[in-house]
C-alpha cells in the first residue's frame, strides 16, 4: 500500500522553543510510522538560523498569517494551492496556536483533503491563551460565555478590547472549521474533554502520545543533587504566584535554584511574587542567563527534584516531560496533563490546586528521604520510557489517520 502523504503545519520548525521542538518530534514520529511528510510554516517564525530537517520538503510561506487571512488573502491562498499541487497531501495536520488561517481549511475541504487539528496551548478557547486565574484553572469562557474574559480582566497592554474582539472572531471562525475537520487531537482526557465542551463531536477526537523528543536526554547521567530546581515561564498561569505560599510552609532545610533569563528579569519576578526573603535567607539562588541548552540540562540533571507549580490546564508541560525523562522526582498540582501523567507516590507527587500545605509536605518528604526520591526517580523514568520511547506509543498517533 502506498504511504500516506501528510502536510504538517506547525507554528515553527526551527529553534529551541517548545513548540518547534514538539513539531520536530511530531515529524520524527510520522516518519517513523512510514508516512511521507512535508512541512508548511509561516514566515517570520522567529529563527535566524533556518534548518533543513530530516531531508523532508519544508515550504516556508512568503507571507505572515494575518487576521484578515481568516477571511480573504489571495496571495496566501495562491501559495497554499501551489504547495498542495506540488506535494499532493492526503492529510493536512495543523498544530500549535489558533493562528492557522481558516481559508486554508476551506481549501482543503474543497479539494477533499482531510484536516487534523492539534493545539499545544489553550488559545482555542481562552483570551488569555493560558486558561488560568490566580485562584486556579478557568474554563469560564466555555462554561458561561466569552465575555468572562472582560469580567476577569484577562488581558493587558494597549488596545485590549480590539485584541479581545479579534481573538473572539478568530476562535468563532476557526471553531466552525474544526467542527468540520476529520480529526481533533489531544494529549490527555482533560484535553479531549475541553474539546467536547466546545461542541466538537467526540467521534472526531483522539488522544495521542506527547510529542517530545527524548533522544538528547538518553545519555545524560543524572545525580541526586543538593538543590531543587524551578525553571520555565515565570507567570501566574505557570503558578509562580503560589511559590511564596508553598515555601512558607516548608519545614526542612532546602535549597532551590531558579533559572531566569537575566538579572533584570529575575529582580522583577522576585519582587512581583514576593520571593525576596527566600533569596535573602539563602533558600533561593537565582541563576542567570542560561542561554545554552547544555547548561540548562546540566542544572536539571544535577537537581534533587523539580518543582512545577503550573496552575492551569496545560496540554503538555515540557518542563515536566524533560524532568521525568531524566528521572527527576517532580512536584505538581493536580491539574491538566499533570493530573493524568503523575500517579501520586509512584512517579511523582501531586497536591490539589490551592493546597499549599500538602505541596510543601511533598517537598519536605522528597528533601528528607533519599530512598523515596530514588523510588520516584525510577517511576518517572519508567513513565518516560513507556510514553516517550516505547515503539507502541506510535499506535496512538497512527490511529488518527484511520
CATH of the domain at 270: 3.40.50.2000
CB atoms within 10 A of CB 306: 24
User: The dihedral of CA 125, 129, 131, 135: what is its sign?
Assistant: negative
CB atoms within 10 A of CB 396: 16
**Grid cell at residue 336:** 491538566
Supply 370's cell numbers.
Answer: 533519599
> Based on the domain organization, do 250 and 375 belong to the same domain?
yes
- Axis crossing angle, helix 102-111 with helix 74-87, rounded to the nearest 10: 40
Q: Angle at the Cα of 17 (from 129 to 135), degrees rounded to 5?
A: 30
What does the angle CA 60 – CA 90 – CA 72 come to, to the nearest 5 degrees? 55
φ, ψ for residue 349 (rounded to 5)? -125, 135
pLDDT of the residue at 246: 98
Q: What pLDDT score was predicted for residue 398? A: 94
Among residues 313, 322, 310, which one has the least CA distance to residue 121?
Answer: 313
CA distances in angstroms from 236 to 2, 132, 240, listed in the order given: 48, 8, 5
Between CA 375 and CA 379, with CA 377 as vertex, the angle to 5 degrees is 70
Query: For the chain, how many structural domains are there in total?
Result: 2
Helix-strand-coil percent breakdown of the chain, rounded to 5?
A: 45, 15, 40
41 strand-pairing partners: 60
Residue 207 sits in the same domain as residue 248: no
Diameter of the chain measured on Cα atoms? 66
pLDDT in tens, the chain (402 residues): 678 999 999 998 988 888 889 999 999 999 999 999 999 998 765 444 567 888 999 999 988 888 888 898 999 999 999 999 999 999 999 998 888 899 999 999 999 999 999 987 788 888 887 888 888 888 999 999 888 888 888 876 555 778 788 888 988 999 999 999 999 999 988 889 999 999 999 999 999 988 898 888 878 888 899 999 999 889 888 999 999 999 999 999 999 999 998 899 999 999 999 999 999 999 999 998 777 788 889 999 999 999 999 988 877 788 999 999 999 999 999 998 899 999 999 999 999 999 999 999 999 999 999 999 999 999 999 999 999 988 888 999 999 998
Pair (133, 266) in one structural domain: no
Write out the residue range of the structural domain in which residue 342 sits.
215-388
Domain co-membership, 76 together with 160: yes
Whole-angstrom Cα distance, residue 310 to residue 273?
A: 14
Residues 98 and 201 in one domain: yes
Same-domain check for residues 64 and 109: yes
CA angle 10, 11, 12 (to 5 degrees): 90
Beta bridge partners of 285: 257
Q: Given the C-alpha cell 547548561, which residue does it identify?
A: 295
Q: Cα–Cα distance between 60 and 254 in angstroms, integer?
A: 48
138 in the same domain as 263: no
- Other C-beta atoms closer than 10 Å to the C-beta of 261 total 13
Q: Does residue 132 share a domain with residue 200?
A: yes
User: Does 203 lie in the same domain as 313?
Assistant: no
Find where cell 545524560 sits.
220
Q: How many CA atoms lie within 13 A of 36 on its CB side?
A: 10
Grid cell 540533571 in the structure block, residue: 301
Same domain, 350 and 244: yes
Of the candidates 246, 275, 277, the one whose C-alpha atom is nearest the C-alpha of residue 258 is: 275
Backbone φ and ψ for 50, nearest 5 degrees, come out as: -90, 120
* Distance in angstroms (rounded) separating the CA atoms of residues 94 and 99: 10
CA 75 to chain centre: 31
- Is residue 1 a contact partner of residue 34, using CB atoms and an 8 Å limit? no
* pLDDT attached to residue 317: 85
The answer to whether residues 204 and 219 belong to one domain is: no
How far is CA 137 from each of CA 52, 133, 244, 280, rounded to the nearest angstrom?
A: 39, 6, 19, 32
Q: Are residues 40 and 164 in the same domain?
A: yes
Query: How is residue 356 written as a grid cell?
Result: 499549599
Amino acid at each position: 500500500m502506498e504511504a500516506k502523504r501528510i502536510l504538517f503545519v506547525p507554528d515553527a520548525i526551527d529553534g529551541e522553543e517548545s513548540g518547534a521542538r514538539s513539531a520536530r518530534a511530531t515529524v520524527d514520529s510520522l516518519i517513523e510510522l512510514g508516512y511521507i511528510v512535508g512541512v508548511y510554516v509561516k514566515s517570520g517564525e522567529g529563527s535566524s538560523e533556518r534548518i533543513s530537517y530530516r531531508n523532508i520538503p519544508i515550504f516556508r510561506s512568503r507571507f505572515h498569517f494575518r487576521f484578515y487571512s481568516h477571511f480573504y488573502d489571495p496571495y496566501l491562498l495562491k501559495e497554499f494551492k501551489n504547495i498542495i499541487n506540488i506535494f499532493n497531501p492526503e492529510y493536512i495536520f495543523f498544530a500549535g496556536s489558533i493562528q492557522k488561517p481558516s481559508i486554508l481549511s476551506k481549501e482543503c475541504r474543497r479539494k477533499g483533503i482531510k484536516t487534523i487539528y492539534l493545539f499545544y496551548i489553550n488559545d482555542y478557547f481562552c483570551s488569555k491563551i493560558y486558561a488560568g486565574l490566580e485562584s486556579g484553572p478557568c474554563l469560564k469562557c466555555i462554561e458561561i460565555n466569552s465575555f468572562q474574559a472582560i469580567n476577569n480582566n484577562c488581558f493587558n497592554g494597549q488596545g485590549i478590547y480590539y485584541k479581545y474582539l479579534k481573538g473572539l472572531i478568530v476562535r468563532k471562525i476557526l471553531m466552525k472549521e474544526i467542527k468540520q475537520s476529520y480529526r481533533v487531537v489531544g494529549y490527555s482526557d482533560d484535553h479531549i474533554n475541553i474539546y467536547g465542551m466546545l461542541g466538537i463531536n467526540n467521534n472526531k477526537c483522539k488522544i495521542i502520545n506527547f510529542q517530545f523528543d527524548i533522544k538528547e536526554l538518553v545519555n545524560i547521567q543524572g545525580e541526586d543533587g543538593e538543590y531543587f530546581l524551578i525553571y520555565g515561564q515565570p507567570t501566574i498561569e505557570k503558578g509562580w504566584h503560589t511559590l511564596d505560599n508553598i515555601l512558607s510552609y516548608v519545614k526542612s532545610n532546602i535549597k532551590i535554584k531558579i533559572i531566569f533569563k537575566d538579572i533584570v528579569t529575575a529582580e522583577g519576578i522576585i519582587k512581583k511574587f514576593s520571593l525576596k526573603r527566600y533569596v535573602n535567607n539563602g533558600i533561593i539562588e537565582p541563576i542567570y542567563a542560561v542561554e545554552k541548552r547544555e547548561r540548562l540540562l546540566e542544572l536539571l540533571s544535577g537537581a534533587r527534584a523539580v518543582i512545577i507549580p503550573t496552575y492551569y490546564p496545560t496540554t503538555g508541560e515540557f518542563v515536566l516531560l524533560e524532568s521525568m525523562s531524566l528521572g527527576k522526582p517532580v512536584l505538581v498540582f493536580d491539574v491538566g496533563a499533570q493530573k493524568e501523567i503523575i500517579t501520586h507516590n509512584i512517579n511523582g507527587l501531586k497536591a490539589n490546586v490551592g493546597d499549599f500545605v500538602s505541596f510543601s509536605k511533598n517537598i519536605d518528604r522528597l528533601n528528607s528521604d533519599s530512598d523515596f526520591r530514588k523510588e520516584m526517580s525510577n517511576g518517572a523514568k519508567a513513565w518516560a520510557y513507556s510514553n516517550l520511547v516505547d515503539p507502541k506509543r506510535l499506535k496512538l498517533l497512527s490511529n488518527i489517520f484511520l
